Amino acid sequence: ETGVTQTPRHLVMGMTNKKSLKCEQHLGHNAMYWYKQSAKKPLELMFVYSLEERVENNSVPSRFSPECPNSSHLFLHLHTLQPEDSALYLCASSQDMKGRDTQYFGPGTRLTVL
Amino acid sequence: SQQGEEDPQALSIQEGENATMNCSYKTSINNLQWYRQNSGRGLVHLILIRSNEREKHSGRLRVTLDTSKKSSSLLITASRAADTASYFCATDPGGGNKLTFGTGTQLKVEL
């Protein structure tokens, strides 16, 4: 266990549904990240939060909406997704955003959009 | 744009053999990290090497970094079946911990 949990582990949703992914870290870290991992593609950094403030938004479509209510929790709200959004969504945390800070990953949520 | 690119894409070896994976990147970096991912799971950090370091060891892992060639290698010695996983290099160009990952090397260690 890395100290980062994600729920649900698997999610199937239709294109008109609204759902949320949850990430929680028990490490006392100050930075949290959302990544998308699609088949045969590099891991893509989607959002970064540092001390609950969003510091990175890598041109992610607005149908993905992150929320960081406190330094231990991170959500990814999903609405009107497309089938190409099907992927493994990984959450990670690190102590800070200084270089050399190891990122600790959760097990991921496998999302299928029908 | 993709920063790290691993080579080979897939590698199959026998238990006890050594496994070598390579990573090339495009821009200057602050540090380079290697991660491991078991099928469909999260990534686990293995080792970090700073731009001013040339070699680093951790247990059966040995990482080298050649900044002049913009490349790194990961060597796993005396491999075990449990080492079967995908291995990714990740670079941190700006030092702000915003990592860019490669596509990974799938390692299979057979008994």
Residue contact A4–B42, C-beta within 8 A: yes
Q: Which residues on chain B are in Cβ contact (under 8 Å) with A39?
A: none
- At A85, list the tokens: 């959004």
Q: Select from B33, B27, B36, B76 the least CA-distant residue to B53.
A: B33
Q: Which residues contact B26 (CB under 8 A, 6 or more apart)?
A: B1, B3, B70
- Give SS3 for B104: coil
pLDDT, tens digit, 9 for 90 and up, residues A7-61: 999 999 998 889 999 999 999 999 999 999 998 788 999 999 988 788 777 789 9
Give the least confident one: A57-61, A71-75, A96-100, B50-54.
A96-100
A9: chain B residues, CB-CB within 8 Å: none
Neighboring chain A residues of B42 at a CB cutoff of 8 Å: 2, 4, 6, 90, 92, 105-108
Q: Does B59 touch chain A (CB under 8 A)?
A: no
CB contact under 8 A, B103 and A42: yes
